[in-house]
């Protein structure tokens, strides 16, 4: 599938194998674009295809109200954030690029907005100056993160000079156990292959487990392909994908839809195709998973314990594990379910879509957060997700449980906006990175699924969601 | 971008593995609209600890950084490359690099040299007292002793680095080929040729 999409986008092939690849869709946000626009200005270059480009602010936006009741903009306290946001707001129209602004109902995290609007499509090449662009691979797009010089390159030429990656398949077959979600699956995969396991490769996620997932769950899996070192993740488009995309505002319609559908159906990897590397995982071996350290590969089953650094054979891994435990304030052998958390973050481009919020709400319904949890926020991935959640009454479930219901944005996934975890405190987080200082200087992050984050909010410690039956136990599990 | 060929000087013997971009430059430093001045924030969390290599006067202004494998993993922020440049680092030597980081480094005239771990270990030991010599033309890393380690580099990247070539300018010269692709795609993949207007 990767090779099919690649071949369809080759503008020119050089003798050394490097290809000039055409880019179908370019998402732009405020953090990695200002220097690119500035360089276009200083070199007198223009944007080749503004119509294939979509700009949305997300990283710096506060998730509190952005407008007063009478519609005036509430100034952003941090002048540096305000400058970056103002730069995008000015650059987009100056270069003729469609812009979804901070007060538009479609605004959200670029990786939520792209699929939701039908801007992202199967078989398309999609780039953005953000490594979690891999997310769009959940639709069967070849999507990957780029740096600012590449943003400038795409703006100016609508192409990138790339070397073809090697191919890797991660096959998960079988039946997932209770309480195991797409997030647990991808955390377990990263724990298995390591953060450099996919370096130089594009990963195709294959097997019945991914076929049976919703598009949103597939986006969660592909979103974290980069945490396994792969620049892109892919899942073959199928009827689930097509149903998801049909009638999205920017998706093809009418005759164009039919033509698109015919091509999309040719994309899945052919029977018997060979991958450069294969990893097979039995679905039944995947537990509800959390991280204990400062790398996404530091995973452990929720019913497991903090590992002993001495158990790592590689001396540098042993040292890294010890440094992680020191930073995390954890002792080897502690059961994960004894680890207390003071903060809970439900959101990010990994887990802020409607199904994620429903999963968290199902756990929180009829419950209240523990008093020891001092900060717990739910941040929808877009204004449209927010509207949908409010229509379903999810916002009331969250607020009645004592969680805050916020405006869409990247929020506490990274320390760029006011949503930060205080130094030394622990956060149960549905985001994608548990790096040192990621959620704020000194913050300690445990990655997990939305349902497990909700469970942690209720008990004030990392909790096995399987031990927390729904309060309104009228529906079968 | 600045051409690069022979770089001689001290090397920071950092050696850490899986150095992520949040370590190279924490997110709060990304709120800039410029490429300059990020050296101040580089390796901030590492520098918070006394006795760290980055604040060791022996390595002040060192043009070379030695690290462990998977250097630059994590986010796509090119600020990581800009921060290194602002520290005057022009060469990073490690057993392996994340894909996005190596691309960002190249586009900013930073040479990413991949060498086997045992050679890295040797360089880490030498760097504590001595200088290293990096020669892009001949693709070698040497020490004041007898060490000469060969490294591989993509020929196109080598050419651009040696000559300080702007990749965007080179691609714009291929404008006709891009237009030809667009014409072809407009008939064969018309549904990709533009999102529906709002």
pLDDT, position A317: 86
At B12, is the secondary structure helix, strand, or coil?
A: strand
pLDDT, position B34: 87
Q: What is the dihedral of CA A84, A85, A91, A92, to 10 degrees?
A: 150
Q: Which residue of A has its CA nearest to B23?
A: A436
**Measured between alpha carbons, how far is residue B67 from residues A87, A332, A410 in Å?**
35, 27, 30
Beta-carbon contacts of residue A440 (< 8 Å; ≥ 6 apart): A412, A415, A420, A421, A422, A423
CB contacts < 8 Å between A and B, how many?
200
**Measured between alpha carbons, how far is residue A110 from residues A64, B53, B198 in Å?**
18, 38, 17
**Residue of A321, A324, A287, A284 lying closest to A303 (CA atoms):** A287
pLDDT, position A472: 58
User: Does A414 reach chain B within 8 Å, measured CB to CB?
Assistant: yes
Mean pLDDT to the nearest integer, B37-64: 95
User: Does B156 reach chain A within 8 Å, measured CB to CB?
Assistant: yes
At A444, is the secondary structure helix, strand, or coil?
A: strand
**pLDDT tens figures, A199-214:** 999 999 999 999 999 9
The one-character DSSP state at B20 is: B
**pLDDT tens figures, A293-317:** 999 999 999 999 999 999 998 888 8
pLDDT, position A269: 95
Cα gap A178→A188, rounded to integer Å = 15
Q: Which of A123, A147, A153 to mutate to test the interface with B (most CBs of B within 10 A)?
A: A147
* Contact present, B1 and B170 (Cβ < 8 Å): no
Q: Which residue of A has its CA nearest to B106?
A: A149
Cα gap A243→B12, rounded to integer Å = 54
Confidence band (pLDDT; 50, 70, 90) for B181?
very high
Residue A474 has pLDDT above 80, yes or no: no
**pLDDT tens figures, A16-49:** 889 999 999 999 999 999 999 999 998 899 999 9
Cα gap A207→A42, rounded to integer Å = 49
**Token pair for A86:** 């103002």
**Token pair for A257:** 């839809």
Residue A450 has pLDDT above 80, yes or no: yes
- The tokens 């994960």 sit on which residue? A336
Residue B195 has pLDDT above 90, yes or no: no
Percentage of chain A exceeding pLDDT 70:
98
Residue A175 has pLDDT above 50, yes or no: yes
Transcribe A68-87 into DSSP letters.
-TTSPBPPPS-HHHHHHHHH
Which has the higher per-residue pLDDT, B74 or B67?
A: B67
Cα gap B81→B65, rounded to integer Å = 12
**CATH classification (class only), A2-162:** alpha beta
> What CATH number has the domain spanning A166-238+260-285?
3.40.1060.10
Confidence band (pLDDT; 50, 70, 90) for B169?
confident
**Residue of A454, A470, A449, A430 lying closest to A360 (CA atoms):** A454
Q: From chain B, pick out residues whose CB is under 8 angstroms from the CB of A45.
A: 168, 172
Q: From chain B, pick out residues whose CB is under 8 angstroms from the CB of A438.
A: 22, 27
**Token pair for A232:** 């892109």
Q: What is the dihedral of CA B99, B12, A327, A302, to 10 degrees?
A: 30
**pLDDT tens figures, A57-74:** 999 999 999 999 998 999
Q: Which residue of A has its CA nearest to B108?
A: A149
The answer to whether the Cβ–Cβ distance between A80 and B32 falls below 8 Å is yes
User: Does A2-162 match A289-467 in CATH topology?
Assistant: yes
Smallest Cβ distance to B156: which of A18, A45, A414? Answer: A18
The answer to whether the Cβ–Cβ distance between A11 and B174 falls below 8 Å is yes
Residue A477 has pLDDT above 60, yes or no: no
Helix ranges (H only) for A194-283 are: 208-211, 215-223, 239-245, 254-264
**Measured between alpha carbons, how far is residue B119 from residues A313, A317, B8, B40, B66 in Å?**
21, 19, 18, 30, 11
**Residue of B54, B45, B5 lying closest to B159 (CA atoms):** B5
Percentage of chain A exceeding pLDDT 90:
94
Mean pLDDT to the nearest integer, A92-119: 96
Transcribe A293-309 into DSSP letters.
SSSTT-EEETTSBPPPG
> What element of type H or E holds A187?
helix A182-193
Cα gap A251→A257, rounded to integer Å = 8
How far is A299 from chain B, CA to nearest CA, in Å? 16
Instruction: Please give the mean pLDDT across all residues of chain A.
Output: 95
> What element of type H or E holds A362?
helix A354-364
User: Does A42 reach chain B within 8 Å, measured CB to CB?
Assistant: no
* Contact present, B100 and A231 (Cβ < 8 Å): yes
> What is the C-alpha R_g of chain B?
19
Transcribe B99-165 into DSSP letters.
HHHHHHHHHTT-EEEE--HHHHHHHHHHHTTS-EEEETTTTEEEESSS-EEE----HHHHHHHHHT-
Q: Which residue of A has its CA nearest to B15?
A: A316
CATH of region A289-467, choose from 3.30.499.10, 3.40.50.10420, 3.40.50.360, 3.40.50.880? 3.30.499.10
**Residue of A199, A226, A196, A185 lying closest to A349 (CA atoms):** A226
Which has the higher per-residue pLDDT, B173 or B11?
A: B11
The ranges assigned to domains in chain B are 6-164
- Count of CB atoms situated within 10 Å of the CB of A5: 21
Cα gap A217→A222, rounded to integer Å = 9
Mean pLDDT to the nearest integer, A443-460: 98
Q: Please, which residues 154-213 of chain A have a Cβ atom closer than 8 Å to chain B?
A: 156-159, 161, 163, 165, 195-196, 199-200
CATH topology of domain B6-164: Aconitase; domain 4 (3.20.19)
Mean pLDDT to the nearest integer, A174-191: 97
Mean pLDDT to the nearest integer, B102-129: 95
The answer to whether the Cβ–Cβ distance between A20 and B174 falls below 8 Å is yes
The ranges assigned to domains in chain A are 2-162, 166-238+260-285, 289-467
**Token pair for B57:** 């006067």
Mean pLDDT to the nearest integer, A239-254: 96
pLDDT, position A476: 46
Cα gap A11→B184, rounded to integer Å = 10
Cα gap A375→A411, rounded to integer Å = 13
User: Does B32 reach chain A within 8 Å, measured CB to CB?
Assistant: yes
Mode of pairing for the β-strands spanning A98-99 and A125-128? unpaired
Helix ranges (H only) for B15-111 are: 21-24, 44-47, 79-86, 99-107
């Amino acid at each position: 599938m990767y090779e099919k999409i690649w071949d369809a986008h080759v503008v020119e092939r050089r003798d050394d194998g490097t290809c000039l690849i055409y880019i179908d869709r370019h998402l732009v946000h405020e953090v990695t674009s200002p220097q690119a626009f500035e360089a276009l200005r200083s070199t007198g270059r223009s944007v080749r295809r503004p119509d294939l480009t979509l700009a949305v602010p997300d990283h710096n936006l506060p998730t509190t109200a952005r407008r007063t009741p009478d519609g005036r903009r509430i100034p952003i306290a941090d002048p540096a954030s305000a400058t970056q946001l103002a730069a995008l707001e000015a650059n987009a129209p100056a270069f003729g690029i469609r812009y979804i602004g901070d007060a538009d109902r479609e605004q959200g995290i670029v990786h939520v907005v792209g699929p939701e609007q039908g801007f992202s499509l199967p078989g398309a090449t999609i780039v953005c100056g953000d490594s979690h662009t891999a997310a769009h691979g959940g639709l069967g797009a070849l999507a990957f993160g780029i740096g600012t010089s590449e943003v400038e390159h795409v703006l100016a030429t609508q192409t990138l000079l790339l070397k073809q990656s090697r191919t890797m398949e991660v096959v998960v077959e079988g039946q997932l156990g209770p309480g195991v979600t797409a997030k647990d699956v991808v955390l377990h995969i990263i724990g298995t292959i390591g953060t450099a396991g996919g370096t130089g490769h594009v990963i195709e996620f294959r097997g019945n487990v991914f076929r049976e997932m919703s598009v949103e769950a597939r986006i969660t899996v592909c979103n974290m392909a980069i945490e396994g070192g792969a620049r892109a993740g892919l899942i073959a488009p199928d009827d689930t994908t097509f149903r998801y995309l049909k009638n999205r505002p920017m998706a093809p319609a009418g005759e164009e839809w039919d033509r698109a559908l015919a091509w999309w159906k040719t994309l899945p990897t052919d029977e018997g195709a060979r991958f450069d590397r294969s990893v097979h995982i039995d679905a039944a071996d995947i537990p509800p998973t959390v991280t204990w350290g400062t790398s996404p590969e530091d995973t452990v089953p929720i019913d497991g314990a903090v590992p002993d650094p001495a158990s790592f054979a590689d001396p540098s891994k042993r040292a890294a594990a010890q440094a992680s435990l020191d930073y995390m304030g954890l002792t080897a052998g502690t059961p994960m379910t004894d680890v207390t958390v003071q903060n809970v973050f439900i959101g990010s481009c990994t887990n802020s879509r409607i199904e994620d919020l429903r999963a968290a709400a199902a756990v929180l319904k009829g419950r209240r957060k523990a008093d020891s949890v001092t900060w717990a926020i739910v941040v929808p991935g877009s204004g449209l997700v927010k509207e949908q959640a409010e229509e379903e009454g999810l916002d009331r479930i969250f607020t009645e449980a004592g969680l805050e219901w916020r405006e869409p944005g990247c929020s506490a996934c990274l320390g760029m906006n006011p949503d930060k975890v205080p130094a030394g405190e622990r956060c149960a987080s549905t985001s994608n990175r548990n790096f040192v200082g990621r959620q704020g200087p000194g913050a300690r992050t445990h990655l997990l699924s939305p349902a497990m984050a909700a469970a942690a909010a209720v008990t004030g410690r990392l909790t096995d969601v399987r031990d927390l039956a729904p309060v309104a136990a009228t529906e079968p599990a | 971008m600045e051409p690069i060929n022979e770089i001689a000087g001290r090397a920071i013997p950092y050696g850490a593995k899986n150095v992520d971009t949040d370590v190279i430059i924490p997110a709060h430093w990304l709120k800039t609209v410029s490429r300059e001045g990020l050296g101040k924030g580089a390796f901030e969390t590492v520098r918070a600890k006394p006795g760290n290599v980055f604040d060791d006067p022996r390595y002040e202004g060192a043009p070379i950084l030695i690290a462990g494998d998977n250097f630059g993993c994590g986010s796509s922020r090119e600020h990581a490359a800009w921060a290194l440049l602002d520290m005057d680092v022009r060469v990073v030597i490690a057993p392996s690099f994340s894909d996005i980081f190596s691309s960002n480094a190249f586009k900013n005239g930073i040479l990413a040299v991949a060498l086997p771990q045992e050679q890295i270990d040797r360089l880490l030991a030498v760097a504590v007292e001595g200088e290293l010599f990096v020669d892009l033309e001949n693709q070698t890393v040497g020490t004041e002793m007898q060490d000469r380690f060969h490294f591989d580099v993509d020929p196109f990247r080598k050419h651009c680095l040696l000559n300080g070539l702007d990749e965007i300018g080179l691609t714009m010269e291929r404008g006709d080929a891009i237009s030809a692709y667009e014409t072809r795609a407009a008939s064969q993949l018309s549904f990709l040729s533009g999102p529906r207007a709002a």
